[in-house]
Structure 1
């Protein structure tokens, strides 16, 4: 008797607007390909497919029908929780388009838990997760999106952004779990040497890191060039970014 087929694995990212070019998607795909063994389907939900490499399955971002003129706050990510996301089935690992993959990704698909997310870096006593990296079964949490669509005004006043709402919703259902602490370090909090050594030591990859998260102050090209978008917060060039953030 033939062995049952392995569950399909998907890696999903999103790109909308003009902040990130196609090179972010292309480099993310290449990093995943180098660090994830076996077959997977790479999906980009986007409003612009131009110059994205052919290996990437580009699909439109499902509309959230938000009021015009409101801050985006990452709400678009909630579209990944559609009851039927273009017929995709299986396990999905969501990665922000500006992360840098530096280690193996296979365990992200096997780590126990219904829904896994990064635990908040700055306030670890809170339940809130950082949605730069999360894993879920496609179609398993349609209530996340359905409730959001039906109660947007309530949600936007209770929660600052999508990751706060998402964490609260799944925590109340007993489904929220977190990645091991060392897997997804923050570039801002964990990779920059302490003052004053940041003036002569370059940022480093923490031991055990697999996906480095860039949020707030700089993106991978900024880190590579030694740019930090805050005054009096010096960093040396993070030359290791070039080793990983490439096609």
Structure 2
């Protein structure tokens, strides 16, 4: 199977350095040859090894919702940048920690394969932070979405649920352990989080960061960009003050030491 990696970047939330780091991590953890594409509205500052392609039209107004990254629906079109065959999509804020050849060897070329979302154990739900699909196979989903974007967004809430439930032919999941969710698989539970740094699961190849905690936060040792970086004892004392982050249990669970392994891997 040809190794094709794609990512998408629009707006100003993520700068070109995110694309450059992602390419660097891919190049260190894959057996060549491979092709790396970024669909973007601004190629300025992206390293020359990345093939920047124009951001596809959305062909509708984005649904008015705070949840779900529905702009990713651009990637479901059948005429995606002239590409063909299976592509491996990666969010810009993933951290690659092991060899990713297996993501091109597992399953069949026509499969749609997602990471498993452990936050909903009673729902067979995938994560689209890292998923593989053949170009054009998801076009029926795109047409369904375009028929009433607001209704689809309200019905499924997250685009990953829409992909999980409506992908033609159904979906598969990556083997257990290949993809780790930082908040779920890496962060220590209270009270161990006050004494030990986040762990890197032994079988993990890629760590994904859905939600508000991103690699820079893991490196700094904070729950999100709005959280102050405090030593363990001061963070614990803040539990009993107005500076507490959420409820008592949330504040205690949200402390984390800096994750050195994230800093070591998340680089150009």
Question: Do the structures match in fold with TM over 0.5?
Answer: yes
Q: In structure 1, the residue corresponding to 2:128 is in which secondary structure?
A: strand
1:231-246 superposed matches below 5 A: 231=245, 232=251, 233-246=254-267
| Offset at residue 70 of structure 1 (A) | 2.1
Q: Deviations over 1:115-156 (max 9, x none)?
A: 100112211221221100100111233212122112323312
Equivalent residue in structure 2 for 1:148, among 120, 145, 150: 145
Which residue among 174, 196, 201 is the counterpart of 1:201? 196
**2:186–2:201 Cα contact (<8 Å) kept:** yes
Match of 2:234 in 1: none
In structure 2, the CA distance between the partners of 1:153 and 1:69, relative to structure 1 (3 Å rule), is closer
The number of aligned residues is: 239
1:31 to 19, 22, 25: 25
In 2, the alpha carbon distance for the partners of 1:146 and 1:58 equals 25
For 2:130, which of 130, 133, 143 is the aligned residue?
A: 133
The separation in 2 between residues aligned to 1:27 and 1:10, in whole angstroms, is: 17
Q: Which residue pairs with 1:79 in the alignment? A: 74
Q: CA deviation at 1:69?
A: 7.3
> What TM-score, normalized by structure 2, do the two folds share?
0.84
Residue of structure 1 in register with 2:231 after alignment = none
* Distance apart, 1:90 and its partner CA: 2.2
Post-superposition offset of 1:217: 3.3
Counterpart of 2:38 (choices 41, 44, 59) is: 44
CA contact (8 A) 1:184 1:213 kept: yes
Unpaired stretches in structure 2, ≥5 consecutive residues = 228-244, 246-250
Higher mean C-alpha displacement, 30-39 vs 212-221? 212-221
Larger radius of gyration: 2
Work out the CA distance in 2 between the residues paired with 1:68 and 1:96.
Answer: 19
Flag the 1:91–1:182 CA change in 2: closer, same or farther, 3 A. Answer: same
For structure 1, which runs of at least 5 residues remain unmatched after alignment?
1-6
User: Any idea what SS the aligned residue of 1:185 has?
Assistant: strand
1:167 aligns with 2:167: no
CA offsets 1:22-62 (integer angstroms, 9 cap, x no match)? 11110000100111102111111112211010111111221
Contact kept in structure 1, 2:80 and 2:135, CA below 8 Å: yes
